[in-house]
């Protein structure tokens, strides 16, 4: 090879090598834009032309800010001016996410990394770009799913807690009042049971939409439970406090929701708490605001529901006491510190034989004294203790009654009063059957009492439970009849075997014509349906005589015997036995 041939080969190799960087530049999958230090476009590769919609001829020498929306363009020009004034390489390695602008004006999410290159004495800036719109959209969707309820698209409890901290800080900084409203829908379970969960879900969606319309974009809306919502709003301090907001939310539910041709009434109980001391810097924790509003909401429910209650500091004392009482109740159930008292039921006609026992739950809260069932039963219901409480009561009542029967002292059914919440649970009968089987008590020696009001909450579920219990051999009676929405249709729809007339109609039955008319009507109704009647609360001879004269055959009350603990009941039964009374039906 001659010297000339060698020089030609070397020259060709050099040209090929210098063309390699350009080939890489053109073939790169990412968009590459090269500018001078003034931002004027010097080169763009094929990927950049495709991404932005411009040819190189259209962009050559133009300011790169053409590829950005105005707000970004102005900021970019300022950054380049600072860069030139500084004289240093401060952009090398810079990574940013910003909005890009295509030739057609559409905007998209863009990832940009910047490098610097000194070439032929010229300072060049190299931007490597790629479209991250799909990635960010997926990221936003994942974040939305993690922070929002999928049914109503309200934020969830976790997101509410985070945002509530921010809202409290803003209220404090801007000297505003923060109002939190806790909303519990009354009766959603009935809608689910009667019309199906599909309709119930549409009710929730409809309710959420009404709340959004009420808020008109201001404030936070969260779904924190199956039928529970929380609304948070910052507002100027006003005498009305949170009542204005709560009233608007309450009123937006007054018109029925129309779903599949049905007009469904939705009612709600609302509790309100406020961060009224933000301007003094006394800021409550987010959890405390929610707890306070939740507690106020339960006060609204306890008062009958479908109303608003505002939290006040005095409630916190009650709240703390209830929490302490709840812990003591939980301990009492676990350590069997509860007690059953028994009140016998009697034939009204001589010799007034005992025909049954009613088990009445008692709780002596130590130094705090006896607690009424009207207090601790709702407490147990609200805090998930009813299942354990029911098991304890039925187990104890069955064991005590079996002991009486096996001792030959008394062979009658024992009646256990079930709360409406417990009786309406779908698994109530199966749980009761398991307890009854373990006890060894014959099924016909157990009676379940349920209030009329509870049964009417869901007639079909109540009917199923009544029939299943009767199929097992367990008797079922309707308690406190007359205090609810009494109707012959109730007794026709639900095949109860016994009807108990509430004591409120017995206390003056011997002298009050209205009570007499009511009692006589119930007696006639029960006779026509072949249902036994028990008069509760008989306390005087005059009441007893009147009821006997009207054909009432069974009763209970202080005239016969007060509720007694098991040891005193045994004494009472043995005393009657010695007196020659028959103690079985």
CB 414 within 8 A of CB 401: yes
By the 8 A CB rule, do 52 and 102 touch? yes
Strand partners, 129: 31, 112
Please tell me the predicted confidence (pLDDT) of residue 6.
Answer: 45
Torsion of CA 496, 502, 505, 506, to 10 degrees: 100
> What homologous superfamily is domain 23-135 in, according to CATH?
PAS domain (3.30.450.20)
| Residue 184 near residue 269 (C-beta atoms within 8 A) | yes
**Distance between first and last Cα of the chain:** 131
The β-bridge relationship of strands 31-36 and 414-418 is unpaired
Q: Any idea where the domains of the chain sit in the sequence?
A: 23-135, 147-311, 336-583
Tokens of 526: 């029960």
SS (H, E, C) 467-479: HHHHHHCCEEEEE
pLDDT of residue 268: 94
Contact 353, 584 (CB under 8 A): yes
- 442-468 tens-digit pLDDT: 999 999 998 877 777 777 888 888 999
Closest listed residue to residue 389, CA positions, set 363, 357, 369: 363
Tell me the average pLDDT of the chain.
Answer: 85
Contact between 167 and 234 under an 8 Å Cβ cutoff? The reply is yes
Structure tokens, 118: 């000194």
Q: Residue length, the chain? A: 585
- Identify whether the C-beta of residue 448 lies closer than 8 Å to the C-beta of residue 393: no
- State the Cα–Cα distance between residues 63 and 45, nearest whole angstrom: 16
Contact 204, 229 (CB under 8 A): no
Q: What are the respective helix, strand and coil percentages of the chain, to the nearest 5?
A: 50, 25, 25
- State residue 276's pLDDT score: 63
Pairwise CA distance, residues 82 & 89, whole Å: 11
Which of the four CATH numbers 2.60.120.260, 3.40.50.1000, 3.30.70.270, 3.40.50.1370 does domain 147-311 have?
Answer: 3.30.70.270
Q: CA Rg, the chain, in Å? A: 39
Distance CA 437, CA 363 (A): 26
8 vs 16: CA distance, rounded Å? 13
399-449 residue pLDDT tens: 999 999 999 999 999 999 988 778 888 888 999 999 999 999 999 999 999
Per-residue model confidence (pLDDT) at position 562: 94
Tokens 């406090």, residue located: 241
Q: Any idea which residue has 């509003």 for tokens?
A: 293
Residue 76: per-residue pLDDT: 80
Q: Would you say 353 and 347 are in contact if contact means Cβ atoms under 8 Å apart?
A: yes
**Which of the 8 DSSP states describes residue 566?**
H
Q: What is the mean pLDDT of each run of 10 residues along the chain (585 residues)?
A: 49 49 80 88 90 90 88 80 69 78 91 83 86 86 82 90 89 86 90 86 94 87 93 80 89 92 92 74 76 91 90 82 89 88 94 94 88 88 86 94 93 91 84 92 94 75 89 90 64 85 89 90 89 93 94 94 94 76 45
346's tokens: 């009697």
Q: Phi and psi of 503, rounded to 5°?
A: -60, -20
For 240: left if phi > 0, alpha if psi spans -120 to 50, otherwise beta; the answer is: alpha
Hey, what are 390's tokens? 């029911």
Per DSSP (E only), the strands in 66-172 are: 95-101, 107-119, 122-131
CATH code: domain 336-583 is 3.20.20.450
User: Which tokens in the block code for residue 49?
Assistant: 């032309």
CA distance 67 to 126: 15
pLDDT at 232: 94
Q: Report the side by side order of strands in the sheet with 41-44.
A: 41-44, 31-36, 122-131, 107-119, 95-101
Tokens of 278: 């933000």
CA–CA–CA angle 399, 400, 402 (5° rounding): 65
Helix (H, G, I), strand (E, B) or coil at 320: helix
The position carrying tokens 């600072």 is: 82
How many Cα neighbours within 13 Å face the side chain of 126? 13
Calpha distance 231→140 (Å, rounded): 23
């Amino acid at each position: 090879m001659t010297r000339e041939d060698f020089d030609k080969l070397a020259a060709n190799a050099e040209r090929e090598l210098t063309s390699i960087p350009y080939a890489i530049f053109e073939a790169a999958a990412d968009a590459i834009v090269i500018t001078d230090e003034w931002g004027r476009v010097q080169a763009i590769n094929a990927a950049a032309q495709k991404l932005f919609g411009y040819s190189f001829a259209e962009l050559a020498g133009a300011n790169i800010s053409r590829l950005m929306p105005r707000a970004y363009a102005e900021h970019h020009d300022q950054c380049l001016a600072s860069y030139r004034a500084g004289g240093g390489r401060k952009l090398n390695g810079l990574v940013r996410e910003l909005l890009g602008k295509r030739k057609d004006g559409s905007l998209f999410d863009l990832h940009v990394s910047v490098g610097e290159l000194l070439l032929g004495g010229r300072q060049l800036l190299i931007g490597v770009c790629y479209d991250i719109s799909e990635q960010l959209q997926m990221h936003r969707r994942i974040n939305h799913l993690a922070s929002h309820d999928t049914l109503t698209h309200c934020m969830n409890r976790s997101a509410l807690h985070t945002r509530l901290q921010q809202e409290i800080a803003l209220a404090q900084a801007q000297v505003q009042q923060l109002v939190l409203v806790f909303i519990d829908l009354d009766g959603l379970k009935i809608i689910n049971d009667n019309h199906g969960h599909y309709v119930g879900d549409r009710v929730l969606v409809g309710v959420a939409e009404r709340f959004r319309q009420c808020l008109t974009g201001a404030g936070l809306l969260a779904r924190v439970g199956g039928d529970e919502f929380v609304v948070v709003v910052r507002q100027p301090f006003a005498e009305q406090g949170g009542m204005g907001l709560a009233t608007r939310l309450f009123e937006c539910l007054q018109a029925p929701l129309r779903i599949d041709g049905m007009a469904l009434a939705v009612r709600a109980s609302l509790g309100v708490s406020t961060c009224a001391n933000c301007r003094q810097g006394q800021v409550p924790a987010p959890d405390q605001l929610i707890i306070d509003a939740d507690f106020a909401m339960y006060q609204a429910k306890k008062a009958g529901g479908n109303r608003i209650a505002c939290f006040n500091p005095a409630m916190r004392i009650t709240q703390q006491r209830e929490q302490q009482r709840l812990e003591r109740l939980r301990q009492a159930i676990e350590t069997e510190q509860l007690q059953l008292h028994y009140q016998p039921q009697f034939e009204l006609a001589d010799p007034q034989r005992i025909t049954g026992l009613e088990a009445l739950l008692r709780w002596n809260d130590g130094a705090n004294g006896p607690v009424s069932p009207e207090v601790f039963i709702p407490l147990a219901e609200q805090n998930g203790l009813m299942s354990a409480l029911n098991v304890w009561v039925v187990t104890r009542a069955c064991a005590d009654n079996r002991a009486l029967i096996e001792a030959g002292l008394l062979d009658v059914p024992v009646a256990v009063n079930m709360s409406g919440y417990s009786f309406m649970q779908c698994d109530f009968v199966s749980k009761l059957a398991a307890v009854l089987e373990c006890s060894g008590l014959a099924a016909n020696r157990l009676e379940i009492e349920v209030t009329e009001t509870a049964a009417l909450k869901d007639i079909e579920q109540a009917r199923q439970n009544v029939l299943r219990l009767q199929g097992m051999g367990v008797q079922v009676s309707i308690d406190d009849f007359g205090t609810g929405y009494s109707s012959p249709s109730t007794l026709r729809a639900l095949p109860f075997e016994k009807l108990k007339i509430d004591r409120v109609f017995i206390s003056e039955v011997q002298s009050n014509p209205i009570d007499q008319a009511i009692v006589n009507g119930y007696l006639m109704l029960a006779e026509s349906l072949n249902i036994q009647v028990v008069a509760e609360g008989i306390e005087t001879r005059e009441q007893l005589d009147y009821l006997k004269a009207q054909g009432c055959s069974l009763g209970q009350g202080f005239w016969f015997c007060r509720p007694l603990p098991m040891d005193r009941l045994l004494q009472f039964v043995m005393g009657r036995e010695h007196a020659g009374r028959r103690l079985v039906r």
